[in-house]
Amino acid sequence: MAAPAPAAAVPRRGRSRVDRRIPASSPPGDDDILRLVGQVYDASIGGEAWEAVLTHLLELLGGDSGALFPAGYAAPADGAIHVRCDPAFIAPYNDHYHRMSPVLPATARLPAGSVLTNHMLVPEAAYTRTEFYNDHIRPQGKYSNVSWFGSGDGVDRRLLCLWRQRWQPAWEPAA
């Protein structure tokens, strides 16, 4: 009987969870980060779809759904990319609810590269009383998001938003 291969000889293929609803218990490894950076670079030059980048990011961080779209009150439908988002909620968001977000008014003055959770800008008690939350976010089962704001002004500025469901742990500020 042959001896098992030493651990160093077994190639690492990144972390994968059987159930994507369970967030990672440890931060992504260097290989995971390097692969993601490569995907972002390829997507930015047209070599890979942004959907693949968002999907990989959701898997690494234990998110449920995500979107990349223009930040602010501009028409979010223009150039928006959605991953695992319920299509029935996209048009209402584009037509109405993006203007109702209690978080967006505070984001206009954030510097490029800012990363935050929705509860860092709006206290949870105030957030859960809004029309935005009760009529748009809550019916989807979503609760906590982490957002990144890109560089640029007005419609050129991009927003990356990753969501977790109500039954998942909320994004922590360290995320």
E-only strand ranges, the chain: 65-70, 81-83, 115-117, 142-149, 158-165
For residue 166, is pLDDT > 50?
yes
In this predicted structure, what is the pLDDT of residue 155? 55
Q: What is the mean pLDDT of residues 68-93?
A: 78
Per-residue pLDDT tens digits for 111-133: 888 888 888 888 889 999 999 99
Q: Identify which of 119, 121, 95, 100 has the alpha carbon closest to the alpha carbon of residue 109.
A: 121
Q: Binning pLDDT at 50, 70 and 90, where does residue 14 land?
A: very low
Q: What is the pTM of this model?
A: 0.74
Per-residue pLDDT tens digits for 82-109: 899 999 998 898 888 888 888 877 777 7
